[in-house]
Chain A
Amino acid sequence: MHTVLLLRHGESTWNTENRVQGWAPTPLTERGVEQATAAGRLLAAEYDVDRVVASDLRRTKETTVHALHAAGWDHDPTFDRAWRERSMGQLQGLTVEEAYGGHPEYSLLHSGIHGARATPPGGESFLEMRRRVLEGWAALTGRHDEGMTLVVSHGGPIFALLAHVQDRDFLSTLGEGWATNGSVAELRVDGDGAEVVRTNLRPDEVAADGGGTGDGDGGADTSDEDADQSTEDRMRGER
C-alpha cells in the first residue's frame, strides 16, 4: 500500500487580497510560513514520509521548504509542473470577484460543465488542469506502490484529485469545501484504487481561517469554515 499526503500551500499574499493567482510567483505571507511550519510539525508527529513531490510554483516551493525544515526531514523534493494550480491566463491578478463574477463562463460553479471546459485566453480550462494533475497522479502511483509520499500542491489540483479518487462529481465535492491553506489530506492507494482516509487535517494551534478565500485560482472558491453553510451558499463564495 502506498500512502499519499496532499498538503496545500500556506497563505500567500494574493490569498489575503483574494486575487486569482494561477501561476503567479506570489510569496507566502508571515501567516503562510506559520501554516507551513505547523504542517511540517504535524507531519513529523503523525507520519514518516519516504519522498516529497511539489508543484514548482513559488508558494508551494516555499511551503515545502518551511514544512520540511519544521519536520526535521532532509528529503530532496522533486518539483513537478504537473502539480501546479490552474493557469488563469489573462484573468490572473484580478480579484476572484472580478475574474469569476465578470467572466462566469470560466467558472465551474457559475457555469457547470461548460465552465469546467472553458479556457481563459492564455490559460487552462479546469478540465485541462485536471487532466494534467491526473497524469501526475498516474505517474506517481505507477512509480510507487508502497511507502509514503508527500505532495505539496494547490486548492484546485487537490480538489480535482479528491473528486477523481472518490469518483464524485465536482459540485458535491465542492460542497465539502476547498482544502484550507496548510491542511493535509491522506489517501491510501493499493491495487483496487485509492481511499480517502481524511481531509483538511491541520494542527489545532493554527488559526483556522486560511481557507475562507480558497485559492481563488482553481475555478472554484469555497469556505470550509462555516460547517453549516449550504452548498448554495458556498458556491456563492466563488465570486
Chain B
Amino acid sequence: MRVVVVRHGETDWNLNGRMQGHAPVPLNETGRQQADRVGRYLGREYAFDRVVSSDLLRTQQTAEAIREYVDAPVSLDSAWRERDLGVYQGLSYGDIHERFPEFALGEAAVEAASEVPEGGESLLDVRERVLDGWNAVLGGDEETVLVVTHGGPIYLLLGHVKDLDVQAALLEHSQSNCGVNEFHHDGTTRLVCENVTEWDDGGAIEGAFGSADGRAAGE
C-alpha cells in the first residue's frame, strides 16, 4: 500500500506568523496556487483510490483543489487536524515564544510535550490521535491513499515511522506548504520521500514562509 501525505497550502496566518490551531483560516492566493500545482503533480504521479483530509478549512480547501486532478472520493477525518492550541490560538509566533515558550515552536515547547494549553491538546494527545488516523488508513484495503493534513501531524507521523521520540520528531523536520511525503506499507512502513516540492515551478513555496513554520505542531 502506498500513502501520500501532503500539507495544506499557505494561509495569511502562515504568512503573518500567527498560530492557527483549529482556526478556520482560508488559503490565500499563494496557497490556492500551491494547491492547484500540487494537485496537478499528484494527478500525474499517482492513481489514488481515496483521499482523507483533515476537516479544518485550510486542508479541506487544499483537498478540493487537488480533486480537480484526482478522481477519488474524499473523506474528512478530525484525527488529521492540527494541534488545538486552546487559548493560545491566534497569537503570533513572536508573542508566544516570548511569553509562553512551552506552547511556542522551539525546544521549550517540545520539552513540554505533555503540557496541555488551556482548552487545547498536548503534543502527546495530538500524536495519539494522528496515529489513530494513520492506522485507520493502513487498515483500509485501498492500494493508494492521499492524506491532506498539517505540519504538526506530518512531523509526528515522520517521527513515528523513523522511530524518533516526539521531541526529535518536532525539531528535526520541516514541511513546506503543500510538501509531499510518500510512504510504502507492507507490514512495515518505509519512507520513500519527504517534503517533495518539485510540483513548484516558480518558487512559490519558498517565499515568505519557508521551512520553520509549524515546527511544534501549532502552525
Contacts and interface: CB of A to CB of B under 8 A. Distances in A.
Interface stretch (A16-24, A66-74, A179-187, A224-232): A16-24
Contact of A25 (B13, B21, B100): B100
Interface residues of B, number: 19
B44 interface: no
B84 interface: yes
A25 B87 contact: yes
Interface string A58-94: 0000000000000000000000000000010111111
A121 B22 contact: yes
Nearest to A123: B119
A193 interface: no
Contacts of A121: 22
A89 B24 contact: no
A90 B23 contact: yes
Contacts of A112: none
A26 B100 CA distance: 12
Nearest to A14: B90
A24 B22 contact: no
**For A24, A26, A102, A103, which residue has the most chain B Cβ atoms within 10 angstroms?**
A24
A92 to B, nearest CB: 5
A111 B118 CA distance: 29
Contacts of A89: 119
Nearest to A25: B87
A57 B169 CA distance: 33
Interface string A92-115: 111000000011000000000000
A26 B86 CA distance: 14
A14 B90 CA distance: 10
Interface in B125-174: none
The bracket for how many chain A residues form the interface is 10 to 19
A122 B117 CA distance: 13
Interface string A13-47: 01000010011111000000000000000000000
B89 interface: yes
A97 to B, nearest CB: 13
Contacts of B88: 24-25
Nearest to A87: B119
**For A14, A22, A89, A102, which residue has the most chain B Cβ atoms within 10 angstroms?**
A89
A135 B41 CA distance: 57
Contact of A93 (B89, B100, B118): B89
Interface of B: 13, 18-19, 21-25, 84, 86-91, 99-100, 118-119
Given A93-B91, A94-B25, 20 more contacts: A23-B87, A23-B118, A24-B87, A24-B88, A24-B89, A24-B90, A25-B88, A25-B99, A25-B100, A87-B119, A90-B24, A90-B89, A93-B13, A93-B23, A94-B23, A94-B24, A121-B22, A122-B22, A122-B84, A122-B86
Interface of A: 14, 19, 22-26, 87, 89-94, 102-103, 121-122
23 contacts: A14-B90, A23-B87, A23-B118, A24-B88, A25-B87, A25-B88, A25-B100, A26-B91, A87-B119, A89-B119, A90-B24, A90-B89, A91-B24, A92-B23, A92-B87, A93-B23, A93-B90, A94-B23, A94-B24, A94-B25, A102-B24, A121-B22, A122-B22
When A and B form their complex, which 5 residue pairs have the shortest distance between CB atoms, in order from nearest? A93-B90, A23-B87, A90-B22, A92-B89, A93-B89
